[in-house]
């Protein structure tokens, strides 16, 4: 796959990495760690996230939509400026 090598694209990619890293920290904090340092997702969270995965954005609750909107705010200023 060929990627664009321009300033806006790289800034957006950096923000995407920050977003992913924040999500992973959040996820790790919610998991249960066993003696072997394995992390397990709690069933209730998995069920909630499975439901959200299958739900179109337009059908999400306003709280869930706001969570997605918060993520867009990380980079929207760059898109508007471009």
Residue 37 falls within a domain, yes or no? yes
Range of the domain at 42: 7-81
| 35-82 confidence digits (pLDDT tens) | 999 999 999 999 999 999 999 999 999 999 999 999 999 999 999 998
pLDDT higher than threshold 80 for residue 1: no
Residues 63, 44: Cα–Cα separation, whole Å: 18
Residues 51, 61: Cα–Cα separation, whole Å: 12
Give Cα 46 distance to the centre of its chain. 15
Number of domains the chain is built from:
1
pLDDT higher than threshold 70 for residue 7: yes
Residue 1 falls within a domain, yes or no? no
Residues 34, 25: Cα–Cα separation, whole Å: 17
Total-model pTM: 0.78
């Amino acid at each position: 796959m060929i990627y664009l090598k321009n300033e806006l694209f790289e800034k957006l990619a950096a923000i995407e990495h920050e977003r992913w890293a924040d999500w992973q920290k959040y996820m790790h904090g919610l998991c249960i760690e066993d003696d072997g340092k394995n992390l397990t997702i709690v069933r209730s969270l998995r069920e909630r996230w499975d439901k959200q995965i299958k739900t179109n954005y337009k059908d999400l609750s306003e709280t869930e939509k706001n969570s997605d909107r918060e993520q867009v705010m990380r980079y929207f200023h760059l898109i508007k400026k471009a």
